């Protein structure tokens, strides 16, 4: 466990110095996996969580370059255009239009994933689009360099609990622990951690009570692509397009068994569509 923690911290420092490429990440993870003999799905909760609130880390503003392993046809990443200052909104405050352009909020659940998240970051960069990544604490802890990359690219990062349980079935203490563990770790990486998407979209009055007491805003969605069903990229785009309207919140997946090359292709096609329609893809205010 100490070795894994040291490796994770070293990965963050390497990224913040602009020294970690996608090849480095793949190599590091290969070594990490061999050492742990574990899988993402059985990652455990942290043993303790400090009640202190960490200040945002300066590493979140460091320039990051995550290259996609798309084969011979891969194109170099294009740095995303800056988000206009007018888009900075309080947590929970969204918009339908920006400077005459309709706004859409593209979100990703269940990550980060070493396999799919870097590819999605490259797709978003090529389209000058910004998104929101609702991450699981256990995977953020395993791949902190990807959280840093998401933040550095101008995306927002939200809380998707530590281990993806059915929140509405848990006790108040367990709900708080799931949210607090993830928020604490995200804040050490520079994220505000003030928004959450409950796993499976399952919520309750008790979940709302805990969220409210923590000052966390809950985001569900208006349109689900169901890309986790792995039907086809064309079907995912069809579902996303069917729910497209100003202010729409659309959910894709980039982690665990939910994400896939199909999801990456679907995001690319969907962004091409909305580009032609004049939409602006913004991150949710977290």
* Active-site residue list: 109, 253
Q: Residue 238, exposed/middle/buried by CB under 10 A (0-12, 13-18, 19+)? A: middle
What distance in Å separates the CA atoms of residue 2 and residue 26, rounded to the nearest whole number? 20
Q: Are 160 and 134 in contact (CB under 8 A)?
A: yes
Q: Which helix (H) or strand (E) holds 108?
A: strand 101-111
What distance in Å separates the CA atoms of residue 15 and residue 33, rounded to the nearest whole number? 19
- Residue among 286, 285, 283 nearest 80 (CA): 283
Q: Are 167 and 201 in contact (CB under 8 A)?
A: no
The angle that helices 2-16 and 22-36 make with each other, rounded to 10 degrees, is 180
By three-state DSSP, how is residue 202 classified? coil
Tokens 């979940």 appear where? 207
């Amino acid at each position: 466990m100490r070795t894994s923690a040291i490796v994770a911290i070293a990965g963050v420092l390497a990224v913040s110095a602009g020294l970690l490429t996608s090849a480095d990440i793949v190599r590091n993870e290969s070594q990490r996996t061999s050492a742990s003999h574990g899988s993402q799905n059985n990652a455990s909760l942290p043993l303790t969580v400090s009640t202190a609130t960490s200040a945002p880390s300066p590493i979140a503003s460091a320039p990051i370059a995550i290259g996609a392993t798309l084969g011979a046809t891969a194109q170099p990443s294009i740095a995303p255009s800056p988000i206009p200052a007018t888009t900075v909104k309080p947590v929970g405050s969204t918009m339908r239009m920006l400077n005459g352009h309709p706004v859409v909020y593209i979100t990703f659940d269940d990550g980060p994933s070493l396999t799919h998240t870097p590819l999605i970051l490259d797709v978003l960069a090529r389209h000058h689009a910004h998104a929101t990544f609702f991450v699981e604490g256990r995977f953020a802890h395993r791949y902190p360099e990807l959280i840093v990359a998401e933040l550095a690219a101008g995306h927002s990062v939200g809380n998707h609990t530590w281990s993806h349980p059915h929140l509405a079935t848990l006790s108040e203490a367990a709900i708080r622990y799931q949210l607090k563990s993830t928020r604490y770790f995200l804040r050490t990486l520079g994220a505000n951690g003030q928004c959450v998407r409950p796993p499976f979209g399952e919520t309750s009055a008790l979940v709302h009570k805990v969220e409210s007491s923590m000052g966390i805003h809950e985001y569900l969605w208006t349109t689900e692509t169901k890309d986790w069903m792995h039907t086809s990229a064309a079907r995912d785009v069809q579902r996303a397009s069917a729910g497209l309207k100003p202010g729409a919140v659309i959910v894709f997946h980039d982690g665990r068994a939910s994400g896939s090359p199909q999801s990456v292709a679907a995001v690319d096609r969907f962004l091409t569509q909305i580009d032609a329609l004049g939409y602006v893809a913004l991150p949710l205010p977290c």
